[in-house]
Structure 1
Amino acid sequence: MIEGLPGMGNVGKIATDFIIENLKAEKVIEIYSHSFPHCVLVNEENLIDLPKIEVYQKPLKDKTLLLIAGDVQPLDEVSCYEFCNILLDTFERNNGKEIITLGGIGQQEVPKSPKLYYTGNTKNIIKKYYSSILNNNLYGVVGPIMGVSGLLLGLAKTRKIPAISILAETYAHPAHVGLKEAKEILTYLNEKLSLKLDLNQIDDSESNDNNRKVIDNQKLKKLMKKPFITKINKGSETDYIG
């Protein structure tokens, strides 16, 4: 299972949405909840949608991939715990094996060459997903991993489900769209999981007009939609929002 909900730079959301689009994954669940923001979103047809989280699946050669995407995260601690436990219940009923969560580590400036970090809930899963492009030295670099991306790892550990989180350096500004950072994560996952993604569809060059990232493929412009981002207070370490 791969989870990528809104967070710092929306790195996880962009990466997961791209996988769903590129693999033409099938939507199997839509989740609406009173623990989501009390609002509606205006879509590309100028109509409204309730904020939701979606679950997709894609059969591959040697596995079936579950993908968790959406507009929002649960708003508070209780609903986040409930949501993550429901996800894990569903995951176990379907004989799930491993969990990967995706996100960003906020920086004070836009990273020219974003570094990738990873952590997990067992030493074995860390060893399995080792790569020279991933840095496992997060202690003192990143603060608490907040939201679904962090909590899934912790709750999965109590159920003895191996889980890792892959985090890319990104600019800690609410308007920043971390396409370049998401592409770094996608490049790693594409090779590690043999996803056969067409990464040429992502153009991570900077726009001269507004210094924003752009996507070449018209079908993927929806990845630029700005979702809700939960806020936490900043401490001495870099804060990460799942």
Structure 2
Amino acid sequence: MARINVLAEDVDLDAPFLIEGLPGVGLVGKIAADHIVEAFDMVHYANVHCDGIPPVVTYPEDDSRLTTPVRVYADPDRGLLVLQSDVPVSPAAATEFADCVSGWFAEEDVTPLYLSGRPAEKGTEPPALYGIATGDGADHLERAGIDVPSEMGLVTGPTGALLSHALENDTTAVGLVVESDPQFPDPEASRALITNGLAPIADVDIPTDALVDRADEIQRAKEQLAMRMQDVEEESTEARPLRMYQ
């Protein structure tokens, strides 16, 4: 039965922002989400049981207790939730997954911040970032000074399904799209997401020095998942331009 099982009932949250960290292009959302959970030592708040999540379990280092591969972490002092995922969501069940978590977001008065990588060649300039939105999400983007897209585009995968759900149901959501490496984990793009997108929207100072210092380590640690994502490309969240004439 699809549900979000809250574990930390004593955690008090008041209209928090939720950062989505599903695996996608460059693993930008996952790297950002994992970093924030670790940087703030966030509380394991809930386990996610939704269609589309593989029937597997995960176990942490130095701990025998099993957890679900998709979890929610909380930081009530900063008004943050993070959706952390160790596995991709099946594209065949992306709609059911979106219905499952979005219903809970509405009940908890959550404003979701959805993250996506846009494949781009690496250059000398910092990766470009822009925002998209539904409902009152555009107000958050304007307040944070985040650019709008320079060309028409499309968001696919589970994150696309989540944004589609928000649009269809006229709820507020923010999407952040960053240029990222199309083949390998991209900590630099994740840092741009955090520094130029998540931090100003949530009005939270999020340190990223460790993300930069450990970039090589992070890249190696995520390589295996990135290779799996290439094998099942249709499962990957991705933003891409829609060029009408090419």
TM tier, shorter chain? 0.7 to 0.9
Change (3 A) 1:41 1:88: closer
| Pairing 1:91-130 to 2, within 5 Å after superposition | 91-96=105-110, 98-107=111-120, 109-112=121-124, 113-122=126-135, 124-130=136-142
- Answer with 184-193 or 34-43: which moved more: 34-43
TM-score by length of 2: 0.73
Letter in 1 for 2:159: S
Letter in 1 for 2:106: E
> How many residue pairs are counted as aligned between the two chains?
215
Report sequence identity in percent.
Answer: 21
Letter in 2 for 1:181: A
Match of 2:28 in 1: 11
| Greater share of helix | 2
What is the CA distance between 1:8 and its match in structure 2? 0.2
Change (3 A) 1:37 1:157: same
Q: Secondary structure at the match of 1:186?
A: helix
Q: Does 1:203 align with 2:220?
A: no
- Match of residue 94, structure 2, among 53, 62, 80: 80
Q: CA RMSD in A?
A: 3.4
Contact 1:39–1:50 (CA under 8 A) maintained in structure 2: no
Change (3 A) 1:32 1:168: same
Q: Secondary structure at the match of 2:88?
A: coil
Q: Does 1:232 align with 2:234?
A: yes
- Match of residue 30, structure 1, among 47, 53, 57: 47
Match of 2:192 in 1: 184
Q: Secondary structure at the match of 2:234?
A: coil
Distance 1:222 1:171 in 2: 14
Q: Does 1:166 align with 2:183?
A: no
Distance 2:130 2:146 in 1: 8
What is the CA distance between 1:183 and its match in structure 2? 0.4
Q: Secondary structure at the match of 1:120?
A: strand
The runs of 5 or more residues in structure 2 that have no matched partner are 1-17
Distance 1:204 1:150 in 2: 31
Distance 1:51 1:10 in 2: 19
What is the CA distance between 1:100 and its match in structure 2? 0.8
Distance 1:125 1:4 in 2: 18
What is the CA distance between 1:73 and its match in structure 2? 2.5
Q: Secondary structure at the match of 1:214?
A: helix
